[in-house]
Amino acid sequence: MDARTGGNAAFVAFEHVQKSYDGENLVVKDLNLSIAKGEFLTMLGPSGSGKTTCLMMLAGFETATHGEIKLNGRPINRIPPHKRGIGMVFQNYALFPHMTVAENLAFPLEVRGLGKSERDAKVKRALDMVQMGAFGGRRPAQMSGGQQQRVALARALVFEPELVLMDEPLGALDKQLREHMQFEITRLAHHLGITTVYVTHDQTEALTMSDNIAVFNDGRIQQLAPPAVLYEEPTNSFVAQFIGENNTLLGVVQEIRGDVAVVRLDDGELIDAKPVNVSRAGERTRVSIRPERVEFNKARLQPGAHTLKAEVLEFIYMGDIFRTRLRVAGNDDFVVKTRNAPDQKRLQPGQQIEIGWLPSDCRALDA
Amino acid sequence: MSDTTQASPMKAADGTPLKKSLTRALRRQKLRALALIAPLLIFVLFTFILPIADMLFRSVENQIVGDTLPNTVQALKAWDQASDEAPGEQVFRALSVDLQVAAELKQHTRLGTRLNYENPGVSSLFRSSGRGADKIGKDFQDRLVELDPAWKEGETWATIFGTDEWLAAEAAWDADRAGKQPAFRMRDGIDEALPLTAHAYQVFVKDVQGAGKNPATTKPWRVFYDALSQDLGANPDPASAALPSAQATLIAATSTAIAGDSFSYKDAFLDMDTGWGAVSTWETIKAYSAPYTAGYFLNAVDLEKGADGIAVRPPEERIYIKLFARTMWMSLLITVSCLVLGYPVAWLLANLRASTSNLLMILVLLPFWTSLLVRTSAWKVLLQQQGVINDILVWLRIVDDGNRLVMINNQMGTIIAMTHILLPFMILPLYSVMKTVPPTYLRAARSLGATPWTAFWRVYFPQSVPGIGAGSILVFILAIGYYITPELVGGTQGVFISNRIAFHISSSLNWGLAAALGAILLGVVLLLYYTYDKIVGIDNVKLG
């Protein structure tokens, strides 16, 4: 109710949160984050970036060294984990091995003092929800990883929390199952209207599941944006390199004219780029271009587009796409991805070609 | 044979059945494994398992009575103990011969000691009667030697009982004394004609030959005269044996001469010691005449074999049941206190940072590096009435100087010292199990709404049960057989059954009873183990 009356007020809010384990280093540095009700937010980042610590602070297993965490407008720093009413799915499921699946699911209801019949009904509903209705009598050890994952999910949802935290829940599954579960988790989350905070280091997972992604590095949120924005418009070179594949060229900003920055690459060539993280001439910059936005078919390039000379080093056939490695402006790891289409050219190693791209796809970021 | 059908057994590439091939391949592995454990296996077998089996055998073994008093045991069969009277002359006759033989072999005191376990006082009866029986033998000897001095010679006896070939062989051996003595061959029919004497002579030859002497030239035992008199009394004309004429004549003459003699063995023995007139003495001998006996076991559970079957011992002699119960009860208390003290420590060990938990682990293991005796003695210093703890309590005025606490030489001392000593055996299995329980379970439980206590009790504790089981079984079994610590700090009230076993092994030398007590203790432990397996399941026990 409070959330509704509060209008746009965040359902979960981190305000200037800091965390240190040893009193010398900050694992989380001045974190500010708000999550709307019903939102699916993913915390993405390399290991040691502070994302799991943030999740644990939200769950109540770690205390913030400084700052305030609010749930539904209420500070929760001093509320112990069992009174927060937050559902949680753990990395290795953490299903209690000495209880059956049904007992595992009944546990949160039991500690809340629900009657037997009510418990049974809720357990059944939760199990049906994850298509595990027939497994109530099994022990966790008698099930596959995917099945355990479903049960863990059902257990986190069975007491109808408004907020569910997931700590790399799909890490232990194989690729196919993982993709299937990604879909299922998002479907459930949206269907039930619960707010979800999801931690992962797998960017594909983050991109496919989330409403918003917070990219963590070095204890800070580097960028908080919906998946498409994050991929196409990274605001710094860490995000650009962490999300998806990325080609980078180093250079110095020659001049900035409106939304075009002229960059002199280290080998002397001049290219146009979109200034994102640069503000003045003379600044060092890292220019970033996605492999699939590079074009070497001159006919498809816009007239007047700037081109660069390139030498083909390697051609890799990957089925749906071709991956070609080029040497561009002294960079041996410049990758181009092209769709496997009937008219698509297959480049040969040693071939000299010219490549180009739209200036708007070429982002001048911090060096 | 390459086209094997589904029904026929699988074959290896060379056509032999797959099963056989597999067995052959595995046999080498098995042999190698066996070779690896063989040294230890052999060592354990000869130094541990066989001695234990021998010890356990002693708990039922009772051949000493039948071996030492063969004729008496035989004669006693006819005795009716319900008559409430000592047995008749026949039994005393047999006793006279048996006792003299036993006295020659110095066996009668051992028998006395054995029977003394069952009937205190019998020991001195046998000791004194050994001398008395010898006196009887001397009287018979005097009588016979007076009749014919030939009876004095070993030669005479050897000729009567040994075959001519044996006598010749024995004489030949005696000449150069090289190699083994010829085995004794009894003259045909003589053991039927003179059974008592023949038996005694056989024992004599065995003993004399064992000492490396020639029976034909050794001074005869006095028992021969007694036995021969008895044999001739029963069978005055033992002509059936084909004796050389000289000996036949000698025996015939002797038989005629002593025909009128009369001698009451019973009176003689009663003169020696009135104990021989007591029915209880004879009851004991009769009850323990079988080669195997349940007597030690009965004794070990405070029962005895009375005149009318098995009966409970008088209250003042009942000690073992009480001692067993005390051992169990105190071991249980020690196990529980180890668990209560050890569980939190194990939890800390499993959940602290590695560096801190390593330090703690060293503290836990520290007692292992100190001698058991040192630790026990340290407790003596701490716990005694003028000891450190009492001094501190008095100094703090918690305890009055006149009422210092008695914490040692009683059950409390044993429980305190043994809890300390056995604590690592509880902590280590607990730790190894707790180490495998990820802390996420507790977090998961709390995130699901459980209070810290509920999370512990419903989620963590059940998963640590295998460790509790392993630790408890280990501590309990170790405690139940503990000896040194109760001996040193237990006083009279805090000793265990093992102290009693040690007493019987080293002081009272009643090894049979010690073996029976040990066997019962072993049985109790196995029974507990079995019960535990049925209730908890031994698969649930993790020791590491």
B455 vs A contacts (CB less than 8 Å): 82
Identify any residues that bridge with A312 across adjacent strands, giving them in sequence order.
Answer: A326
Whole-number Å distance between alpha carbons of A104 and A98:
9
Query: How does pLDDT run across B24-82, given as a tens digit for each residue?
Result: 889 989 999 999 999 999 999 999 999 989 988 989 988 888 888 998 988 888 888 77
On whether any CB of chain B is under 8 Å from the CB of A103, the answer is no
User: How sure is the predictor about A304, in pLDDT bands with cuts at 50, 70 and 90?
Assistant: low
For residues B126-157, one letter each, b for 16 or more C-beta atoms within 10 angstroms of the residue's C-beta and e for the rest, the string is beebbebbbebbeebbebbeeeeebbeebbbb
On whether any CB of chain B is under 8 Å from the CB of A183, the answer is no
On whether any CB of chain B is under 8 Å from the CB of A113, the answer is no
Q: Work out the percent of chain A whose per-residue pLDDT is above 70.
A: 97
- Mutual orientation of helices B279-287 and B108-118 as an angle, nearest 10°? 100
Read off the pTM: 0.77
**Beta-carbon separation of B448 and A159 below 8 A:** yes
On whether any CB of chain B is under 8 Å from the CB of A91, the answer is yes
Whole-number Å distance between alpha carbons of B96 and A131:
95
Which one has a higher pLDDT value, B59 or B235? B59
Question: Which one of A22, A61, A82 makes the best mutation probe of the B interface by having the most chain B beta carbons within 10 Å?
Answer: A82
pLDDT at B544 over 60: no
Query: How does pLDDT run across A32-75, given as a tens digit for each residue?
Result: 999 999 999 999 999 888 899 999 999 999 999 999 999 988 89
The number of C-alpha atoms within 13 Å of A111 and in the hemisphere containing its C-beta is 26
Output the pLDDT for position B25. Answer: 85
**Beta-carbon separation of B450 and A82 below 8 A:** yes
Region A151-159: what's the mean pLDDT?
93
pLDDT at A117 over 90: yes
pLDDT at B349 over 50: yes
- N residues, chain A: 367
Output the pLDDT for position A1. Answer: 34
B466 vs A contacts (CB less than 8 Å): none
Least CA distance to B439: which residue of chain A? A94
Output the pLDDT for position B76. Answer: 87
Burial class of B76 by CB neighbour count within 10 A (0 to 12, 13 to 18, 19+):
buried
User: How sure is the predictor about A200, in pLDDT bands with cuts at 50, 70 and 90?
Assistant: very high
Whole-number Å distance between alpha carbons of B153 and B6:
90
Alpha carbon of A80: minimum distance to chain B alpha carbons (Å): 9
User: How sure is the predictor about A6, in pLDDT bands with cuts at 50, 70 and 90?
Assistant: very low
Least CA distance to B438: which residue of chain A? A94
**Beta-carbon separation of A85 and B449 below 8 A:** yes
pLDDT at A99 over 90: yes
User: How sure is the predictor about A7, in pLDDT bands with cuts at 50, 70 and 90?
Assistant: very low
**Partner residue opposite A111 with nearest CB, options B444, B454, B462:** B454
Query: How does pLDDT run across A162-189, given as a tens digit for each residue?
Result: 899 999 988 888 888 888 899 999 999 9
Fold of B320-371+405-540: MetI-like fold (1.10.3720)
Alpha carbon of B422: minimum distance to chain A alpha carbons (Å): 29
Tell me the DSSP string of B116-155. HHHSTTHHHHHHHHHHHHHHHHHHHHHHHHHH-GGGG-HH
User: How sure is the predictor about B540, in pLDDT bands with cuts at 50, 70 and 90?
Assistant: low
Fold of A2-237: Rossmann fold (3.40.50)
Domain coordinates of chain A in residue numbers?
A: 2-237, 245-366
Output the pLDDT for position B445. Answer: 94
Backbone angles phi, psi at B436, to 5 degrees: -90, -5
Whole-number Å distance between alpha carbons of A206 and A229:
13
Alpha carbon of B470: minimum distance to chain A alpha carbons (Å): 18
On whether any CB of chain B is under 8 Å from the CB of A356, the answer is no
Least CA distance to A97: which residue of chain B? B463
Residues 6+ apart with CB under 8 A from A129: A154, A157, A188
Burial class of A109 by CB neighbour count within 10 A (0 to 12, 13 to 18, 19+):
buried
Identify any residues that bridge with A353 across adjacent strands, giving them in sequence order.
Answer: A310
Least CA distance to A155: which residue of chain B? B448
Alpha carbon of A18: minimum distance to chain B alpha carbons (Å): 22
3-state secondary structure of A20: strand
For residues A45-65, one letter each, b for 16 or more C-beta atoms within 10 angstroms of the residue's C-beta and e for the rest, the string is beeebbbbbbbbbbbbbbebe
On whether any CB of chain B is under 8 Å from the CB of A169, the answer is no
Residue reference for tokens 């063989």: B38
Identify any residues that bridge with A249 across adjacent strands, giving them in sequence order.
Answer: A287
How many C-beta atoms surround the C-beta of residue A41 within 10 A?
22
The DSSP 8-state label assigned to residue B304 in this structure reads E
User: How sure is the predictor about B7, in pLDDT bands with cuts at 50, 70 and 90?
Assistant: low
pLDDT at A319 over 50: yes
**Beta-carbon separation of A90 and B448 below 8 A:** no
Least CA distance to B461: which residue of chain A? A98
**Partner residue opposite B440 with nearest CB, options A80, A86, A94:** A94
User: How sure is the predictor about B315, in pLDDT bands with cuts at 50, 70 and 90?
Assistant: confident
Q: Is the ipTM above a cut-off of 0.85?
A: no
Query: How does pLDDT run across B163-213, given as a tens digit for each residue?
Result: 888 888 888 888 888 778 888 888 888 888 888 898 899 999 999 888 888
**Beta-carbon separation of A97 and B448 below 8 A:** no
Output the pLDDT for position B240. Answer: 60
Which one has a higher pLDDT value, B67 or B10? B67
Domain coordinates of chain B in residue numbers?
A: 1-57, 68-285, 320-371+405-540
A45 closest CA partner among A198, A199, A170 = A199
How many C-beta atoms surround the C-beta of residue A279 within 10 A?
9
Question: Which one of B355, B447, B461 makes the best mutation probe of the A interface by having the most chain A beta carbons within 10 Å?
Answer: B447
Which one has a higher pLDDT value, A276 or A43? A43
For A193, the token pair is 């209207």
- B→A contacts (Cβ < 8 Å), by residue, are 438, 440-441, 443-452, 454-455, 458-459, 462-463
Output the pLDDT for position B307. Answer: 63
**Beta-carbon separation of A107 and B458 below 8 A:** yes
B438 vs A contacts (CB less than 8 Å): 92, 94
A105 vs B contacts (CB less than 8 Å): none
Query: How does pLDDT run across B150-165, given as a tens digit for each residue?
Result: 888 888 898 888 888 8
How many C-beta atoms surround the C-beta of residue A325 within 10 A?
18
**Partner residue opposite B440 with nearest CB, options A92, A98, A108:** A92
Whole-number Å distance between alpha carbons of B406 and B393:
12
CATH number among 2.40.50.100, 3.90.245.10, 2.60.40.1180, 3.20.20.450, domain A245-366:
2.40.50.100
**Partner residue opposite A81 with nearest CB, options B446, B459, B462:** B446
> Taking CB atoms and an 8 Å cut-off, how many pairs form between chains A and B?
67
Positive or negative torsion for Cα A176, A182, A187, A192: positive
Query: How does pLDDT run across B352-372, given as a tens digit for each residue?
Result: 888 899 999 998 888 788 888
Query: How does pLDDT run across B276-287, given as a tens digit for each residue?
Result: 888 888 888 888
**Partner residue opposite B448 with nearest CB, options A80, A111, A165:** A111
**Beta-carbon separation of A94 and B443 below 8 A:** yes
Residues 46-85 of A with CB under 8 A from B: 59-61, 80-85
pLDDT at A2 over 80: no
3-state secondary structure of B476: helix
Q: Work out the percent of chain B whose per-residue pLDDT is above 70.
A: 96
